[in-house]
Every structure is written in C-alpha cells, then in structure tokens.
Amino acid sequence: MHWIPVGASLFASNIGSGHFIGLAGSGASSGIINGAYELNSLIVLIILGWYFVPVYTSSRVVTMPEYMCSRFEGQRIRIFLSFQALLLYIFTKISADLYAGSLFIKESLGWKGESGFYLSVLVLLIIACIFTIAGGLSAVIWTDFVQTILMLAGSLYLMVLAFVKVGGYESLLNKYSESEADANYSSYKLVDGNNVSCGAIDPNFMHFFRPIDDGSIPWTGYLGITISSIWYWCADQVIVQRTLSAKNISHAKAACLLAGYIKLLPLFLLVFPGMAARVLFKNEVGCSDPIVCKSICDEEGGCSNIAFIRLVLTLMPNGARGLMIAVMLAALMSSLTSIFNSASTIFTIDIWNRFRKDCSEIEQVIVGRCFVIFLVLISVLWMPLISFIGNAQLFIYIQAISAYLAPQVTVMFLMALFWKRMTESGAFWGLITGFVFGMLRLILEIIYSPPACGKEDTRPAFVILFVGNIHFLHYGTFLFFLTGIVIISVSLATDPIPEYKLNGLLYFTRNEPVEYSVSKSNLGKSKSSSHQEVPNALRMACCLKKQEKTMEPPSRKKTLSYEEHAKLLHENKCTKEILYIQAAFMAAACGFVSAFYF
C-alpha cells in the first residue's frame, strides 16, 4: 500500500481511546513528563524503518514468531512468543481499551458504581461482537486513515477550546502550578515534619529531565522507555504487519516517518489539554482523598483518568461532542476487533494447530471464536487490578506492564538481528529468565499494592525494597541486561548456527538470498467437499466464504536468485537520499522539542 495510509494506520494503531485518556490524565497529574514516550517513538520509528523492516522483508516472513522460527529453526520460541503476546493482549490491550471505553460511557451517561462500570463494558463488548461477526472493518488501514484525520481534527479543536478557556499558554502554566485541590478534596502526608498534600503539583511539571528519585520518569529511566518502545514498534505483530503492507521498503520508511511526525502532536493535543483539565476541574481531576475520589470517579487512587472526558463533555458543543465520542468509540471498536482477530489467529495457528495438525477450517474458526470469548472474560476479570498498578493512572499502568514483559523480547530481537553467534537455546532460556523475573515483579505489585498516600506502608521489607524503591523503568532496564547476559552465556556454551542458514535473517546478511517455503504447484491441489457441508447459518456466523476448500500440497524450500532478492530491497537512489534527510530532520525535531522542555 501507499505510504500515506500505512503511516496513518501506524499512528491510529498506537493512539486509541486508552491513549487519549491515559496521556491527558498523566498531564493532569504530573505535567508534560509522559510526553517523553511520544517523543521517544520518533527515534524508534526510524530504527523500525531502517533496520528491522529490511530484515523482515529479506527473510520473507509475515509474523514475528515466524521470523524467530526461521532465525533459529525451532518451534518452542515461536510458541512461547505467542503465549506472551496473548498475555500482553490481556494485560495492556483488551483490558486497557475496555477500561477506557467504559469510562467514556460511564461519564457520558452518568452511570455510577461497579454496576455502571460493568454495564459499560457489556455495551462495548456487544458492539464489538457485532463488528466482528459482521466481518469487521473490510479495509482496516483505510479505516485507520479516516479515523486518524477525525481524531486529530477533534483533538485540535478541543485543544484550542481548552487554551482559550484557561487564557492561553502562559496562563495555563501559571494556573497549573496553583491548581492543587482544596483541602476537603485532599489527603496529606508528613514530609520532613510538615503536612504536604498528596495532590501537590510537581515543581518540575514543565521539564523532561527530572531527578533520579522522581516518581514519574527519572532521567535514568529513558533507557527503559526506549527498551519498551523497541518492542512495541519493532517486534509487535500489529505494528509490524502494517509496516510490511507497504509497497516496498521506501514506502515503509516513508510511512514510519509520517507516523513519527504525527507523533509530535500528542504532547500538544493531549498532554497540554490534560493540564488544562487540572486547572478547570482541580477538585475533581486533582483529588487525592480516597473517599472523595471514590465518590467522583469510583477510583480511590485518584481521578486523573477523567480529565480528557471532562473536557469533551464540558467544553465541546453538542454536535462536536457527539462526533468526538463517536470517533473515540469507533477507534476503540477497530482496536478491539483487530485484537480479537489477531489473538484468534495466534492461538489457532501457533498453538492449537500444534496439537490438532489435521483440524478443518471450520474447527479453527470455531476454536478461535471460543478462545476470543475466553480472552475477553479473563480481561474483564483483570480490569479491577488496573487500579493496583500505576496509582490508578491508565497510561502508567500500560507502561509498567510493558516494562515487566517487553524487555526480554526486545533484547532477543535485537540480538537476533545483529549477533550471528546467538543460538536457539540462548534465545529460549534468555526469554524464559526475563519472563520469570518480570512476572515476579508484576505478581508482587498486585499482591502488595502500595498504600494510599498518607497511610503507613505495612508491606514486607523485601517488597518495599524490590517494588517500592525500584522504579518500573529501572526494573525494565535490569530485565533487559539480565536477559542479554543469559542469552550470551548460553549461546557461547552451545554450538553456533551454520552461517549459510543465516542468509537474509540478520541485518548484515540481509542482501543474501534466504530459503523460504513455497507450495509445490506442480503437484496440483486436491479438493475437499467438507467445507460445503457447513450449514449456511454457521458459515455466516463464522465469516466463512462459500467455496471449496483446497488442500495445499507439501511445501518445499526455494531460494531466490541474487537478482530477485535484490529487487526486494531495492530503493531508488534519489528517494533513498530524501528519506535519509527526512529521518535526520525528524530526529532533529525530536531533539529540539526535548531540549526546549529540558
């Protein structure tokens, strides 16, 4: 596809209702600091387009587990990556999207309490099921393209309204520094013998560079951000699949640049309006007393998550308000249906087919649909635990989960692309080690949730040391290096992979033709009538086409000639130079914004 819709789809796949609520909420609670994630994406998108995409294209793979299977010729890494991807779908995607969507519906309709929360979730699931059964969105990338335009236009309009309401940029900065909630909305803690509000404004709210003991993002945490971002942008199936749908490598690089330029906007379209919401609704959005917050938003840890919703419902006129809510819910539906389909595919192809090698198409579809139901149920049960991680801030919750489960995948992909001595055993045991330590931190954080502000910390000493005193980004960095050490140690202790098997699978061998599986067309295809025996109603419910099922013959290995392989990676010289200049310009823009708010 053309680079414009692909780039817009990359952005739309990343920015959903959870992002709108999470980023605006983080702006309301701690200033611009979490905009650093958005700026970091600009650099990582360049890494995706210039280093990862050429290797994925050269290796002729479609999925990330498939790449690892080709790289190491083993199935256990592929299966484990599929399992971990499903966990991440539950923890960060489905549950977070449902949580964000339910907040929109609850606040819009005035529903309160747990009954209102789960009723909102039920409404979202019913709509998502209708989308899925009807076949979903026929052209996901073009739909994302349209949604991107609508989301940006609506957010820009809301940003203008918010700035006008607070009196402009300078007025926003002055008023935000004084937007601490009133005493009857706040709880207090002792600091050096003085009572300090738990909702106090951080004096560094307009700076990206913060002290090492900062609770939001210390300056030492930026490596952890990059580690999580490389997993998200360079090794997550949803993102990479869209990039690989581009016409060629040049279009893929241009799409990454377009997505990167658009990623400059959320700092201004979401974070600053979130700060304006803190000014306009300081007692509701900035409350810190657990009892009061519970009465406002049904969360004891704080109500910053409602910042963006309050702006939409309060500042926008009726028509624009309805359109904005519709766009957000449409983006949510698109995200959920994409996740449902991806989860179904991962489970049936990478897991179920390992146990049922001869299962029919209808069996795969039914199993996939049933698994999606199971996945949704687990996600709904998980949603109440969001409050225990990230101090009830949705964006921090998502980033914390990523810091516990993504670093081991990041280091494995980086070493798979750049270190030929890496072996299957090293990759597998490194992945397992990182996963175990990541889950250990996650489980401890859930069991021993931090006390409310101003309350005594009664957690065991080892939990305070292991969880309370180690920032999640620092822990993610620890996981990254721990996994890397295990991979290197085990790889050096095992036999290396023959170099001829690495052709086209590493960045330094991307110009060498790679062997890949193709069907033996000269063997012909046999037909089966089993597909036609499926009842029409069941076929429609499962989104199956009415056609004969063909039995694919055995596969064989084929190697492209050097000329054919070179065409895959060919780039026009002029286009290549323009893309390099644009990449440098985008990196400079990232550096300028970062330095301006240093």
Residue 526 φ/ψ, nearest 5 degrees: -105, 150
Across the range 401-412, mean pLDDT stands at: 95
Q: Please answer whether residues 312 and 159 qualify as being in contact, where contact means their C-beta atoms are separated by less than 8 angstroms.
A: no
Same domain, 235 and 115: yes
Residue 230 domain-assigned (yes or no) = yes
Query: CA-CA distance, 130 to 112, in Å (whole number)?
Result: 26
Radius of gyration from C-alpha coordinates of the chain = 25
pLDDT for the residue numbered 515 = 64
Residue 363 domain-assigned (yes or no) = yes
Which pLDDT tens digit goes with each residue over 367-399?
A: 877 888 888 888 888 877 776 675 668 888 889
Q: Assign 41 a pLDDT band (cuts: 50, 70, 90).
A: very high
Beta-bridge partners for 557: 517
Would the pLDDT of 523 be above 50?
Answer: no
Q: Assign 551 a pLDDT band (cuts: 50, 70, 90).
A: very low
Concatenated DSSP letters of 90-132: IIIIIHHHHHHHHHHHHHHHT--HHHHHHHHHHHHHHHHHHHH
Same domain, 398 and 312: yes
Antiparallel, parallel or unpaired: β 555-559 and 515-519: antiparallel
Count CB neighbours of 541 within 10 A: 13
Closest CA to 583 of 204, 147, 45: 45
Residue 588 domain-assigned (yes or no) = yes
Task: For CA atoms 442, 448, 454, 457, give the dihedral sign.
Answer: negative
pLDDT for the residue numbered 526 = 37
Query: CA-CA distance, 272 to 437, in Å (whole number)?
Result: 36
Q: How far is CA 291 from CA 197, 225, 598, in A?
A: 15, 33, 36
With a pLDDT cut of 90, the percent of the chain lying above it is 40
Closest CA to 361 of 585, 151, 530, 109: 530
Same domain, 460 and 533: no
Q: Assign 528 a pLDDT band (cuts: 50, 70, 90).
A: very low
Closest CA to 317 of 154, 167, 166, 172: 154
Q: Please answer whether residues 236 and 50 qualify as being in contact, where contact means their C-beta atoms are separated by less than 8 angstroms.
A: no
pLDDT for the residue numbered 322 = 83
More confident residue, 193 or 386: 386
Of 334-338, 402-406, 576-580, give the lowest mean pLDDT range. 334-338
Q: Please answer whether residues 525 and 553 qualify as being in contact, where contact means their C-beta atoms are separated by less than 8 angstroms.
A: yes
CA angle 543, 545, 546 (to 5 degrees): 135
Residue whose pair of structure tokens reads 């650093």 in the numeric block: 36
Q: Assign 559 a pLDDT band (cuts: 50, 70, 90).
A: low
Q: How far is CA 283 from CA 99, 100, 195, 292, 482, in A?
A: 23, 21, 19, 10, 44
pLDDT for the residue numbered 137 = 38
Residue 295 domain-assigned (yes or no) = yes
Residue 1 domain-assigned (yes or no) = no
Across the range 498-503, mean pLDDT stands at: 89
pLDDT for the residue numbered 152 = 86
Q: For residue 578, with 0-12 CB atoms within 10 Å meaning exposed, 13-18 middle and 19 or more buried, which class applies?
A: middle
Would the pLDDT of 89 be above 90?
Answer: no
Would the pLDDT of 529 be above 50?
Answer: no
CA angle 162, 166, 170 (to 5 degrees): 110
Q: Assign 90 a pLDDT band (cuts: 50, 70, 90).
A: confident
More confident residue, 231 or 458: 231
Best-predicted range by mean pLDDT (14-28, 283-297, 486-500, 553-567): 486-500
Strands (DSSP E) contained in 154-291 are 188-191, 194-197
Q: Assign 334 a pLDDT band (cuts: 50, 70, 90).
A: low
CA-CA-CA-CA dihedral for 556, 561, 565, 566, to nearest 10: 180
For the chain, give the longest Cα–Cα distance. Answer: 84
Query: CA-CA distance, 361 to 157, in Å (whole number)?
Result: 47
Query: CA-CA distance, 598 to 590, in Å (whole number)?
Result: 12
Describe the chain by its helix, strand, coil percentages, rounded to 5. 70, 5, 25
pLDDT for the residue numbered 65 = 83
Would the pLDDT of 163 be above 60?
Answer: yes
Same domain, 400 and 519: no
pLDDT for the residue numbered 198 = 79
With a pLDDT cut of 70, the percent of the chain lying above it is 85
Across the range 94-113, mean pLDDT stands at: 80
Across the range 472-484, mean pLDDT stands at: 96
Each residue of 220-242: b (16+ CB within 10 Å) or e? bbbebbbbbbbbbbbbbbbbbbb
Same domain, 527 and 572: no
Cα 582 → chain centroid: 25
Same domain, 252 and 348: yes
Would the pLDDT of 338 be above 80?
Answer: no
Same domain, 262 and 380: yes
pLDDT for the residue numbered 519 = 40
pLDDT for the residue numbered 578 = 95
Same domain, 361 and 500: yes
Across the range 108-117, mean pLDDT stands at: 73
Question: What integer best gives the mean pLDDT of the chain?
Answer: 83
Same domain, 548 and 457: no
Same domain, 216 and 364: yes
Same domain, 497 and 521: no
Q: Report the residue count for the chain.
A: 598
Q: For residue 174, with 0-12 CB atoms within 10 Å meaning exposed, 13-18 middle and 19 or more buried, which class applies?
A: middle
Q: Assign 524 a pLDDT band (cuts: 50, 70, 90).
A: very low
Domain containing 49 — which CATH number? 1.20.1730.10
Q: Which residues, other chains included, contact 187 with Cβ-Cβ below 8 Å and sequence gap of 6+?
A: 197, 198, 288, 289, 290, 452, 453, 454
What's the whole-model pTM score? 0.87
Q: For residue 576, with 0-12 CB atoms within 10 Å meaning exposed, 13-18 middle and 19 or more buried, which class applies?
A: middle
Query: CA-CA distance, 16 to 332, in Å (whole number)?
Result: 6
Same domain, 526 and 591: no
Q: Assign 549 a pLDDT band (cuts: 50, 70, 90).
A: very low
The parent domain of residue 279 ranges over: 6-384+391-512+563-596
Query: CA-CA distance, 17 to 11, in Å (whole number)?
Result: 13
pLDDT for the residue numbered 561 = 57
Residue 45 domain-assigned (yes or no) = yes
Which pLDDT tens digit goes with each residue over 93-103?
A: 888 888 888 88
Query: CA-CA distance, 303 to 299, in Å (whole number)?
Result: 7
Query: CA-CA distance, 282 to 292, in Å (whole number)?
Result: 13
Domain count, the chain: 2
Would the pLDDT of 51 be above 90?
Answer: yes
Q: Which residues, other chains included, contact 183 with Cβ-Cβ below 8 Å and sequence gap of 6+?
A: none
